[in-house]
């Protein structure tokens, strides 16, 4: 199968003001796509969009009408949508019983409900045109459960499952679906996890962006970054649960939290705590 050209295609990215989303925006611009960045931090999104030549608008993925407005604004500015990259997400770190209810709600609302909103808003147009691609940025934490981020894992397992189920419902529609599952990515989200996460392979935002571009060009449903972790997961599922648990205890599978450098992580934590305050009043 030949590669699908992304040149001239309208592709919207949620949470594209920084980190992985911004790297995806830059890679898509390099492919000649017309890129729209939606972010709750609209000032930052507009500043970065101006720098790379993309379009930007305000978006709060927790709010379905905000998503509908963002897609309408994107289409008015750039033309009919071809692709949607559901990337916005937050990852608090904390033991299950210590996690504030508002922060749990924020994760469910942004990481899971936000993806539902995006798919339900964008999909009808793509189906009508029998063409397009929805890419959901999940995580390897949606394949391997991570003690110290239980609710985050729950939201990412949910995104993996939902993507596969929806892809099944629309398998003959001409619309493609991909679920991208990165390992640890070097963004502000993982600041302070250097020692904590040395059992987890690290990748750059650019590597995730390359995987997204490749999945758009040659559609693939499940994509791990790095790629070999997809096979590692398949092998892991063949190991009996008691042996998985023994191995996890040996390597200290909660060290993302137990060895977190809280000072280095404070900037990220403050940023996402502000989102949790906003969730209460939605
Ligand atoms: N960094 C990692 O190690 C890693 C690993 C696997 C998966 N992921 C996933 O990749 C995605 C991006 O992560 P990142 O590391 O780039 O994070 P980041 O914090 O650097 O960027 C996330 C962006 O999303 C925006 N955002 C947050 N809430 C929003 C909302 N309600 N509406 C619209 N925009 C919102 C933020 O303003 C920010 O610009 C997330 O879904 C994350 O779970 C990250």
Q: What is the CATH number of the domain that holds 61?
A: 3.40.50.720
**What tokens were used for 122?**
């964008």
Query: What atom of ligand 1 comes closest to residue 140's alpha carbon?
Result: 6
Strands 222-225 and 202-203 come out as unpaired
pLDDT score at 208: 98
pLDDT score at 194: 81
pLDDT score at 193: 87
Judge whether 5 lies within some domain: no
Give the angle 28-30-35 at the CA atoms, nearest 5°: 40
- Number of Cβ within a 10 Å radius of residue 266: 12
Q: Is the CB of 180 under 6 A from ligand 1?
A: no
Judge whether 167 lies within some domain: yes
- Number of Cβ within a 10 Å radius of residue 65: 10
Judge whether 73 lies within some domain: yes
Judge whether 228 lies within some domain: yes
Question: Domain span at residue 217?
Answer: 10-280
pLDDT score at 259: 86
Q: Which residues of the chain have pLDDT under 70?
A: 196-198, 278-282
Judge whether 269 lies within some domain: yes
Count of domains forming the chain: 1
pLDDT score at 279: 58
**What tokens were used for 56?**
């930007």
Judge whether 106 lies within some domain: yes
Alpha helices in 58-169 (DSSP H): 64-78, 101-107, 114-129, 150-169
Judge whether 131 lies within some domain: yes
Pocket test for ligand 1, best of 37, 63, 88, 107 (most atoms within 8 A of CB): 88
Judge whether 2 lies within some domain: no
């Amino acid at each position: 199968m030949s590669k699908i050209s992304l040149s001239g295609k309208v592709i919207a990215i949620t949470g594209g003001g920084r980190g992985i989303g911004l790297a995806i925006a830059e890679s898509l611009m390099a492919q000649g796509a017309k890129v729209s960045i939606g972010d709750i931090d609209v000032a930052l999104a507009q500043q970065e969009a101006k720098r790379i030549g993309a379009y930007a608008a305000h978006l709060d993925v927790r709010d379905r009408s905000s998503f509908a407005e963002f897609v309408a604004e994107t289409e008015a500015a750039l033309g009919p949508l071809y692709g949607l990259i559901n990337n916005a997400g937050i990852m608090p770190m904390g033991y299950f019983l210590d996690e504030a209810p508002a922060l749990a709600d924020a994760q469910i609302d942004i990481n899971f409900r936000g993806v539902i909103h995006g798919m339900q808003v964008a999909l009808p147009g793509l189906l009508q045109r029998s063409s397009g691609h929805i890419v959901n940025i999940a995580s390897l934490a949606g394949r391997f459960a991570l003690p110290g981020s239980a609710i985050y894992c729950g939201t990412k397992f949910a995104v993996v499952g939902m993507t596969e189920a929806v892809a099944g419902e629309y398998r003959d529609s001409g619309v493609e679906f991909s679920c991208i599952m990165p390992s640890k990515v070097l963004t502000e989200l993982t600041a302070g996890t250097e020692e904590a996460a040395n059992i987890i392979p690290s990748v750059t935002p650019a590597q995730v962006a390359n995987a997204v571009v490749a999945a758009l060009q040659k559609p693939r449903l499940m994509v791990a970054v790095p790629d070999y972790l997809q096979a590692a997961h398949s092998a892991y599922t063949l190991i009996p649960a008691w042996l998985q648990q023994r191995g996890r205890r040996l390597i200290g599978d909660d060290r993302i939290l137990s060895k977190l450098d809280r000072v280095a992580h404070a900037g990220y934590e403050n940023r996402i705590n502000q989102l949790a305050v906003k969730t209460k009043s939605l």
